[in-house]
Every structure is written in structure tokens, then in C-alpha cells.
A and B are shown apart, each in its own frame.
Chain A
Amino acid sequence: MTESVLSTLSLIILFLPLLGFTVVILLGKRFPKLYLFEVAILTIAFILSVVVMYSKLAYYLNSDIISSFNWITIGAAPLAGVINIELGIKIDNVTVIMLFVVNLISMLVHIFSIEYMHGDQRYTRYFANLGLFTFSMLGIVLTHNLLMMYIFWELVGLSSYLLIGHWYEKKSAADAAKKAFIVNRIGDIGMFIGILILFTHYKTFTFDTIFAQISQGNIPFNSEAWLTAAGILVFMGAVGKSAQFPLHVWLPDAMEGPTPVSALIHAATMVAAGVYLVTRIFVMLTADAMLVIAVVGAFTSLVAATIALTQNDIKKVLAYSTVSQLGYMIMSLGVGAYVFAFFHLVTHAFFKACLFLGAGSVIHAMHHEQDIRNMGGLRKKLPLTYATFLISTIAISGIPLTSGFLSKDGILAGTLAFGKLTGHWLIPIMGFTVAAMTAFYMFRLVIMTFHGEPRDHHKYDHAHESPWVMVGPLVVLAALSIFIWYTPNPLSPDAGWFMKEWVKTPSTVVPESSRFEFMQSASHETEVHGEVVHSPLYTETMHWAHYPAMGMSILLAGLGILFAFLFYQWKKINADNLATKIKPLYNFSLNKWYLDEAYDATAISGTLNFSKILSWFDNKIVDGAVNGAAWLGRFISSLSGLFDTFVVDGLVNFTAFFSGFIGLAFRKLQTGKVQTYIVFVVFAVIILLLFFKPF
């Protein structure tokens, strides 16, 4: 399997979903069974991605495969000279793992949707949109430059809009789609400015070229402030796409879309795109940028966890949980724990998708009931769904023997090390708090949905386990949440191939003065055990932090689960009484920290008022100018009309009058009398005589 074959296969994987989208969207109305074609395409893409992943990790473990071509050459740009814009793909270990993840979850969602969306009026178009989304996401994963990343970034936003607003007859769904797109756009402004800063200085979009330039000391406009700014601005895109505070408000509303869509986009893949972006630009982040990222991630996870405590819609709980876990990933990148962040991205994709699809199964069985206060006791009716849902919940809570435990533990260790190395202790405190809250609200969800007595007997009686088409994907995803795929030692991720061999923290290229001293730079490579690691300081600190972090996280998770059982299963503490006692806090949490209202009052009202002013301007002044021009035109034409009537017509009439007058005058010559004519003859003869003068 040569490198070029691998790149070709990757390109095929990229374009297969696009082919599926085009075929289904064009012919879907006539051949309703074409959705099977789409599902088949995704299956092929998945199989190919398995092949690619295997080849890369087996044969090209330590090298990157890059395939690019020169798209546009601007020969004589002013002030810049020759500019080459390249497009291409970069395949490294992170890429192939992401390919596997995206294709697997996309395929499973396709299969799940066959049954879940059965009977929907836009069935085939749904599948087409899923194909378009997969294509866009794969584009983000495979790209080797910022321009292509931005193009596919926007495409992913578009696909998300189409899918969230699938039931666009519902006003809430259409509004949610708009909200998602607009809030993403706000983040994209920052990203675009960041890209432009980099392009202006380096005259290229390609990642590797830019990083090489930075490592040689060529930083934007020769100031570290600009480098930090570029890093933070590009991170803004991730803030929008990965629903970080303050741009997280779209993700809960996006639950208006069909549940498989939530599973694919808003749990596993699209929101992970932001994390993926940060991993791509990780090497150029200065210390200040990393601190900002860490704080944003930590704060986001805290806010989301507090809100998830009180939500009653099954999908909203999962949505806020997603925001919280994304905050974890971002926080992890900010503190420098690159590998754990990516690890968590992969494990979260699996168990969150399993949770969402499980919720879909529950909703489908309960005939579109989503409020957990009306559920209960479903474990008897939906055993398989319950089993997979429980496994995923254990994973997200960070209980040992799961993949989630490994990744979350690593992140928390990283934050602890960061705190020790830099003195920013608030970040690990927030991280551990969130771990406790996560365990609590996830088990609350499980208990209220599956345990206890059913609260709505009518729906309960009609509920039944979903067919294999829906349960199969659940089983697969739950299986992937077990530790065994990632490391042989359930308690130590370091021993596993995922951590040791497949994914390595890249060396930062940022100049020494602006990075944390524990960040390894390319010019300080220290070979320890045959692999490139962080500086010795960092490795030491991580070793110190490992076991305390593990211990604390298990303890806090256990506490959270205990409280959940106390509140909801054993009913020792009455949740409602507690809620009434701390009513302001409860309302604050239930109403999502009143953020939507705050935005409405400030940004949205401001924009609407501004647009009212502009509309007034347009109506009065611009239209006034146009109307004035029209009035002027009409006035001039009426003047010209007057001229035409009086002068031109007057001339014509006068000519007619004149000829009539002459005619009348000459008519008198025609007397009809011969003698008159003879007189004229005589006169003519006289005149002739006068002319010729014969005398």
C-alpha cells in the first residue's frame, strides 16, 4: 500500500458521501428507495476508512502523507509578489483515527435512521443531507490548509442548518436552525480574521509551511502579540462550532432536529470539529492563548453542567452534557494535554452517540415523548436500550473499566499538572467539580427514565423494544466504550497503544519567550524511551498528578452517583423540596443562566434596532433619491412633451396651414374661365419677349 494509494483512497472516502448526496438529491423524488444507496455508500466509505487506518498505523506510523496541488497562482499581487494558494490533504495518525470515527458514526446513524425516520415526508432528502454533512466533515478532517478548512467549515454549518431545520414547518425548528447558523457565523468571523492575519504575513494557508516558518522565528509582524491574537482568533471558530461559552446557546436549541441528527452532528462529529481545529493549530499557540483556551473550556463545562442538573427534556440533558464534555476537551488542549484531549474526543464520540441514539430509541418507543418526568420503569420494556444506555452513562461518568474513565482521568491529571506548574489552580478545581456533577445528572437521567415506576401508564403500555435496525448501532457503540480497544491496562492509558504509539503530542513551534516552559519545543527534543515527549519537567509533573487525579475523579464520580440514587432511586432526599428551598439557584439553572434572554435584550435588540434605522434610511433617503430621480424624469418629460405639443406640433400645423393658405390663394387662379388662362398666356409671352429681347 503505497503512499499515493493511501491518498487516493482518502480522496475516495472524501467524495463518496458527496456522490451519495448528489444522486439522492437529484433522483430521490422519483426513486424513493434511493436512501439505501446512500446507506450503502456510507458503508463502503467506512470499510475504506478501516483499510486506510490500518495501513497508516501499521506501515506509516511516524510519517505524514501529504498530497497537494497548486490551485491558484497570483502572479503579481500588490505588495506581496507571487502568491501560491494550494489545496491538498494531510494524512497523519490523528486524521486516520478521525476518518474511522466519523465514518463509523455516520454509517451507524444512517442505519439507525432507516427505522427512526420511517414515514417522514422528506425521507430521501434527509439521507441526502446526511451525505452532504459527512462529506463536509471529512473535508475538515483531511485538509492540510486553512482555506480548505474554512470552506468545509462553512459547508458543515450549512449541513447542520439543513438537518436541524428538517421539520421546518415547526417554527421552533426553523428558528433553531437559523440560530445555529448565525451563532456559528459569529465565531467564524474571528476565525476568518485569524486566518487572514496568518495569510497576510506568511502568504500561504498551508499548516506545515506556517508552522515551519514560525519555528524558524518568523512570527506574524514580528510581535508575539500578533501570534497570540492569531491563535485566539482562530480559536473563536472553535468557540462557535464546539459550542463554548458564550456561543454555546445554539446547541440546546438544535435538539429540534431529529434525534439521529443530534447523535451524528451534535454529539460526535461536528462539534468535535472545533476541537479538531485547535489540535491542528496546537503547535502555534502561545502561553497566553493556551491560558485563554483553558479558561474558556473550563468555564463552559462548569456552566453547562450546572444547567444540566435541572433539565427535564431527555435530549436537553444530553445536549448540555455535550457542551460540558466539549469544554473538557478544550480545557485539556489549553493545559497542554494534547493526547488526552484527542482521546476524549474519540471516546466521547462513541458513548455520546450511543446515548443520543438510545434516547432516540426511547423517544421512538414512547411515541415522541421527550420529558423524563413522564417516563420511568422502561428498563423492563426496553432491555437492550437500557443496557447500552447504562454502559455509556458509566463511561461518561468516569467509572473504571470504560474508555471514558481513561480519557477523563487523563484530562484531570493534565489540569492538575497545569495547576502545579503554573499556579492556576482554579482550572483543576472546576474540572473536578464538573466531574461530580456529570456523574450526578447522568445517573439522574438514567434513574428517571429507566428505573422506578412508570409515570405515564398509557404510553408505557404501548412501549416496546426497538427493532434491530435501531438497536444494532447502540450495541456497537456501547461495545466501543469499553477500555479494551485502547489499552490493555484498564487503569492506565499510558500503557495503551492509543497513547503511546498512535497519537503523540506535537512539538510546539512557538518561540521560547512566549510559551509555557513545560511545553516541548522542536529545538529541545529529549529522547526518552525512544519517543518524543514533553520536557522532563512536564513528564515528572504528570507522573506526580496521575494517581491523585485518578483517585479524586473516582471518588467524586462515586459521590455524584450516590447523590443521584439518594434523590431519585431511594427517594431519601426529596428533590422538589430542595428545589423550592434554593429556588433562585434552581431557576437560574433551569433557565440556562438566562443567557438567551440576555442575548435577546442586548445583541439581538441592538441589531434589530440598527436594522430599523438602516431600513428608515433606505426608505426615506435612498428611495427618496430614487423617487426624486423618477419625479425629475417625469418633470423633464412633461416639459419635453410641452415642447413637442407646442413647438413641434405647432410647426407641423403651421406648415399645413401655410400650404392650405397658399393653396387657397393659388386656387383663385383656377377660375375655370378660358379667358383668364389666355391672359396668363399673354403675360407669359410678354415675359418671354422681355427675356429674349428680339427687339
Chain B
Amino acid sequence: MTLYDIIFYLFAVITIASAFVVVTTRNVIYSGFTLLFTFFGVAGIYVLLGADFLAIVQIMVYVGGILILILFGVMLTNKITDVDIRTGTIHLLPAAIGVGILFGALTSVMVWTDWKTEPVELPITTTYAIGKELLTNYVLIFELLGILLLVVLIGAASIARSDKE
């Protein structure tokens, strides 16, 4: 049990536990805020995997952007003046069975497959490597993503616009 393992288990537990809370709690606000912990947990796992740039991006984009958006969505679409915002659930039993089997199948695949592991030497800081790749091999995708974000910006604004006509 090295330190690496302990920290891994810690972050894994945080992530899984908060994810579990996200999907089971009836309270929308609780669900939203617990998602925050899930993202943090995932960022920690990224660090453990040596993806430092990615971890920071995760926190910045997910937590700083997407989570805020989700919280805004929650607040704008529920009668927030109620003290306790509860939502219902559906399809509990079939979902549980199906998901359980799916999980069983996936996990068994992952565990019993003999992965060919060739540990690759990752750079210590991945920022430089990522940047270099982005602007050489993946430059097209990079540019397209920019355009995509522009389109999303315009689109989201136009969809959410209230029609005053």
C-alpha cells in the first residue's frame, strides 16, 4: 500500500460516493452541489494519472462553467421559493436491474481482459506536449472547436431568448 494507492482510493471514494448521491437524492439543490464534489474527485484522479493540465482544465471548465450553468438551470426552472425542492423518480426497478447487469458486464470485461500495458513515458508537465500537439497534429480540430463554441454561443442565446413578438 503505497501512498499512491491510498490517495487513489480516497479520491475514488469521493467520486463514487458523490456520484451516488447525485443520482439518488430527491433534492435538486443537493444533487447539484454534490456534483461539485464529483468533479473535484475526477480532477484528483486526473492528477494521479499524470494529467495535470487536464485536471486544471477540468476544474476550470466543469466546475467553473458547467456546474454554474447547471445551477442556474436548476434555479431558473424550479419554483425556487419552495423550501424543499423534490423531484420524483421513475423506472426504478428496471433501471436498477438493467444498470446492474450492465455494470456487471462492463466490469467483468475490464477485469478479465488481459490489457497490453506498455507504460509510456509521459512528460512531467503535459502542458507543453498538449499545446504542441494541438497546434500541429490536431490543429483542424482545434479550429473547428473554436467555431463550434462560437456557434454554440449564438445558438444558446437564440434558443433561450424570450419571444417578445
- Decide: A682 and B109 in contact? CB cutoff 8 A: no
Q: Which residues of chain A are within 8 angstroms of B95 by Cβ–Cβ distance?
A: 679
Binds A, one of B28-36, B39-47, B96-104, B124-132: B96-104
Q: Does A75 interact with chain B (Cβ within 8 Å)? A: no
Distance to closest chain B CB from A674 (angstroms)? 11
Q: Please determine whether B91 and A695 come into contact, CB atoms closer than 8 angstroms.
A: no
Asked if B90 and A675 make an inter-chain contact with CB atoms under 8 angstroms apart, the answer reads yes
Closest to B101 in A: A686
Residue in A675, A682, A689, A695 whose CB lies within 8 Å of B99: A682
Interface residues of A in 644-695 (CB under 8 A from B): 673, 675-676, 679, 682-683, 685-686, 689, 694-695
Identify 6 residue pairs between A and B in the complex whose beta-carbon atoms are under 8 Å apart, listed by A's number. Answer: A679-B91, A679-B95, A682-B98, A689-B109, A695-B105, A695-B108
Give A557-580 as 1s and 0s: 1 = Cβ < 8 Å from B's Cβ atoms. 000000000000000000000000
With beta carbons under 8 angstroms apart, the residue of B98, B101, B112 that contacts A695 is B112
Residue of A nearest to B106 (CB): A689
The CA of A695 and the CA of B105, in the complex, are separated in Å by 8
Q: Which chain B residues in 13-55 approach chain A with CB under 8 Å?
A: none
CB within 8 Å of B: which A458-512 residues: none
What are the residues of chain A within 8 A of B113 when measuring CB–CB?
Answer: 694-695
- B94 near A679: Cβ-Cβ < 8 Å: yes
Known contacts A695-B108, A695-B109, A683 near B91 by CB under 8 Å: no
* CB closest residue in chain B, given A681: B98
Distance from B112 Cβ to chain A, minimum over Cβ atoms (Å) = 5
A678 nearest CB across to chain B (Å)? 9
A18-53 interface with B by 8 A CB criterion: none
Contact A682 B91 (CB under 8 A): no
A: interface residue count bin = 10 to 19
Q: For residue A695, which residues in chain B have a CB less than 8 angstroms away from its CB? A: 105, 108-109, 112-113
Please determine whether B109 and A686 come into contact, CB atoms closer than 8 angstroms: no
Taking a contact as CB atoms closer than 8 A, the residue among B90, B94, B105 that contacts A689 in the complex is: B105
Main secondary structure, interface of A, reads helix
**B91 to nearest A CB, angstroms?**
6
Give Cα distance in the complex from A695 to B101, angstroms: 14
User: How far is it, in angstroms, between the C-alpha of A673 and the C-alpha of B90 when the chains are bound?
Assistant: 11
Query: Closest residue to A689 on the B side, CB-wise?
Result: B105
Chain A residues contacting B109 (CB-CB under 8 Å) are 689, 694-695
Query: A689 contacts which chain B residues (CB < 8 A)?
Result: 105, 109
New A-B contacts (7) at CB < 8 Å, excluding given A675-B90, A686-B101, A689-B109: A673-B90, A675-B91, A679-B95, A685-B102, A686-B102, A695-B108, A695-B112
- On chain A, the residues within 8 Å of B101 by CB distance are 686
In the A-B complex, list the 5 residue pairs whose CB atoms are closest, starting with the nearest. Answer: A695-B109, A682-B98, A695-B108, A689-B105, A686-B101
Q: In the complex, which residue of chain A has the Cβ closest to the Cβ of B98?
A: A682
Q: How far is the CB of A689 from chain B (nearest CB, A)?
A: 5
A695 to B112, CA, bound (A): 7
Q: Please name the residue on chain B nearest to A690 by beta carbon.
A: B105
**Docked pose: A675 CA to B113 CA in angstroms:** 31
CB distance from B93 to the nearest CB of A (A): 10
Cβ–Cβ < 8 Å partners of A682 in chain B: 98-99, 102
A685 to B91, CA, bound (A): 18
B98 lies within 8 A of A686 (CB): yes
- Rounded to whole Å, the gap between the CB of B76 and the closest CB of chain A is 21
* B111 CB, nearest partner CB in chain A, Å: 9
In the assembled complex, the Cα of A137 lies from the Cα of B69 at a distance in Å of 130
Q: With the chains together, A157 CA to B98 CA distance in Å?
A: 109
Closest to A687 in B: B101
What residue of chain A has the Cβ atom nearest to residue B111's Cβ?
Answer: A695
One of A675, A676, A686 near B105 (C-beta < 8 A):
A686
Across-interface contacts of A673 in B (CB, < 8 A): 90
Residue of B nearest to A685 (CB): B102
User: How far does the alpha carbon of A694 sit from the alpha carbon of B108 in the complex, in Å?
Assistant: 9
Could you give, for residues 67-85 of chain B, a 1 whenever the CB lies within 8 Å of some chain A CB and a 0 otherwise? Answer: 0000000000000000000
Interchain nearest-CB distance for B30 vs A (Å): 21
Residues of A within 8 A of B90 (CB): 673, 675
Q: Chain A's nearest CB lies how many Å from the CB of B92?
A: 11
Minimum CB distance partner of B90 in chain A:
A675
| Closest chain A residue, CB of each to CB of B97 | A683
**What residue in chain B is nearest A676 (Cβ atoms)?**
B91
A683 touches B108 (CB 8 A): no
